[in-house]
Amino acid sequence: MVSKRFLLRRVLLLIPVLFGVATLVFSILQLAPGDPARIIVGQRASAQQVAKVRTELGLNDPLWVQYARFIVDAATFDFGQSYKIAQGTPVRDVLADRLPVTLELAIFGQIAGILLGIPLGVISAVKQDSMTDHLTRVGALTGISVPIFWSGPLLILLFATFLGILPTSGRIGSTIFLAESWTLFGIELPLTGLVTVDTLLLGEFDAFVSAVRHLLLPVLVLGIYQMALLSRMMRSSMLEVVRQDYMRTARAKGQGSKITILTHGFQNALIPVVTVIGIQFGTLLGGAVLTETVFGIGGIGTMLVSAIGASDYPLVQGTVLTFALLFTFVNFGVDVTYSYLDPRIDQWCVCTLTLTAGSLPNPSPSAVAVK
140 and 127 in contact (C-beta within 8 Å)?
A: no
Check the CA dihedral 335-339-342-347 and report its sign.
positive
| 66, 23 contact by CB (below 8 A) | no
Q: Which of 51-55, 311-315, 352-356 is predicted least confidently?
A: 352-356
Position 180 scores a pLDDT of 78
Provide the β-strand partners of residue 187.
184
The stretch 217-231 carries a mean pLDDT of: 87
pLDDT in tens, 187-199: 877 888 888 888 8
| Secondary-structure class of domain 4-33+77-370 per CATH | mainly alpha
HSE-CB at 361 with a 13 A cutoff on CA atoms is 4
The top-scoring range by mean pLDDT among 12-16, 89-93, 240-244 is 89-93
Spatial distance between the Cα atoms of 13 and 16, rounded to a whole number of angstroms:
6
Every domain range in the chain assigned CATH 1.10.3720.10: 4-33+77-370
Query: What is the per-residue pLDDT for 278?
Result: 82
Contact 84, 310 (CB under 8 A): yes
Q: What average pLDDT does the segment 94-122 reach?
A: 88
Of 64, 354, 310, 104, residue with least CA distance to 218:
104
DSSP state of 123: H
Checking 117-120 for CB contacts under 8 A at 24+ apart, the result is: 117/226, 117/227, 117/228, 117/229, 117/230, 117/231, 117/234, 118/230, 118/231, 118/234, 118/273, 120/227, 120/231, 120/234
What pLDDT is recorded for position 367? 40
Q: What is the arithmetic mean of pLDDT over 158-178?
A: 83
| DSSP secondary structure, 288-332, as one string | -HHHHHHTT---HHHHHHHHHHTT-HHHHHHHHHHHHHHHHHHHH
pLDDT digits (tens, 9 = 90+) for 270-280: 888 888 888 88
Q: Which of 106, 137, 133 is nearest to 330 (CA)?
A: 106
What separation, in Å, do the N-terminal and C-terminal C-alpha atoms of the chain show?
19
Buried b (16+ CB within 10 A) or exposed e, 248-271: eebbeeeeeeeebbeebbbebbbb
CA distance 266 to 264: 6
226 Cβ neighbours under 8 A, 6+ residues apart: 109, 110, 112, 113, 114, 117, 280, 284
Q: What angle do CA 365, 366, 370 make, to 5 degrees?
A: 115
pLDDT, position 201: 85
pLDDT at 311: 77
Angle in degrees, CA 93, 81, 19, rounded to 5: 85
